[in-house]
Structure 1
Amino acid sequence: MLAATLMLIALLCVSVLMKVPYTEMSPGPTYNTLGTQDGTDQPVISITGHQTYPVSGHLNMTTVQVTGARYQPSLVSMVVGWLRDDVLVVPRENVYPEGQSDQQAQQQNAEEFASSEDSAKTAALTQLGIPVGTEVVVNSVVAGSPSEGKLHAGDQIVAVDGTPITAVTEVAKQVTKHKPGEAVEFTVAPHGKDSAEPNPADEQKVTVTTARATDGSGRAIVGIGPGVVHTYPFKIDIGLQDVGGPSAGLMFSLGIIDKLTPTDLTGGKFVAGTGTISDDGKVGPIGGISMKVIAARNKGAEYFFTPADNCAEAARNTPGGLRLIKVNTLADALKALDEIRSGQTSALPSCGK
């Protein structure tokens, strides 16, 4: 008995002290896209330059809280987390790829959030039939490349060697007409110092001497990564602090549409949801869905827009009083809001059906 007792004590000590490569998720804050930022009178979504309309109710985006990249739970903490309904224990590499620091994870989340905002605006305006423009810009500049110090991330590429640029592929096409060591002329609208948009009024010509690609092809390169940004006929600002990732896209799109249309989309109801959004309005799956439904219900939500690919997981742990509504597209969500507003909810596409 003494030996067994000592062994049990040793095992308990090991389980408390031994760290395991897992990360914990829990329900995070939710934010009403129709309301204001916490502790301020600043709207989550503000629109200037276009008529807006009164809104009511809630269209809440949801979040999860994740333990930091340096945190490693003990074996006991992991087991306790597995037993709790409001904690999700996942392999660490699912959240933090090998070697990724907290700072790198935060940067990635911020970039995904910015991209989500852009797609949310594009999907919303497209749904409303409002034209959305595009511009080819410098996405990145390779350190030590011929373009370093001459071209900058955010610069709009208006023309290359006098040829107007309307698509990303046209940049490389014009550059590779040259031999390595030859000069190529870019016409750019520099990224405004006080604006998120390039300033066409300040167009300038920048000459860059090409270099030889290191892939053995012998082609000319200048060391930039071109990309596309959307332009809008009026200003839409989405302001939230300390929120990252792409999963708020659907709810941002709905919030924008609600403010731009005379119909009060929620009819005063409390609707929450999640899901990425593509430029053409397709809703994609996200992580941590089981924690997000808990966060939504804790806040008071009655309905939860759930990406179709997340339905099975969400349905396994749905809090009482919350109805999961399956959505594949932005149009699906708008149709569901019509039914919620009218009180005709029997035909709503629920998860599990």
Structure 2
Amino acid sequence: MAKDVVDQLLSQGYVSRGYLGMVPTELDPLKREALGLDKKEQGIFVESVQKDTPADEGGLRASDVIVEVDGQPVSDVTDFRLRVARHKPGEKLTLTVLRKGKRVKLDFTLADRADYVTVASNGQPAVGGPEWMGIRVASLSSPQARRMEIEVDHGVLVTDVATDSPADGKLQPGDVIVRVDDGDITSISDWQEVTGRLGDTDKAVLIMFYRQGKGSSRFVAIKK
């Protein structure tokens, strides 16, 4: 890869590397438990997928677990990034992912990072709601939300996290929750339905959220 970098610098004055458009993170024990993965299973967790990028267009989804790049096992995030960085814009890349217990192969054509910019969206209203796992939420049209510069257009606003609750230290007021377990959260009705179904589960649960309603989505696993 070093020779390729030198060649690009000499020919065009900068280094151009393939861009996928996703955020990878390591698989921690709670995520493994929530996804039902064996401790020996190697791979990385897809934290988020940016809209209209090669990752999005190729079918990669948030919460997928990438286990292979071009048919070779992936051990961690650093390994994954190095493998992707070996490809130039326009080149093909194949990922093998674990999705709901099944292996799925996905093909991508990498882009150039310079062609992509982050676009923010405006908040749309939701409705207020109850507490679950120490998390209290309100609508995106509530007074609290209107005082914030929230960029996501759906979900529920975290207004309080109880001390010593399962969510303490993992979520904070101002976060916007958009998915709990396998249920999308677009309103308080969704929040009530999904959390009501889960109840006081003793299993680890994945929550997808935006920190302070901005940037890329994140995941956290909580357990009672």
Higher helix share: 1
Higher strand share: 2
Q: TM-score, normalised by structure 2?
A: 0.36
Higher relative contact order (CA 8 A, sep 6+): 1
Larger of the two Rg values belongs to structure: 1
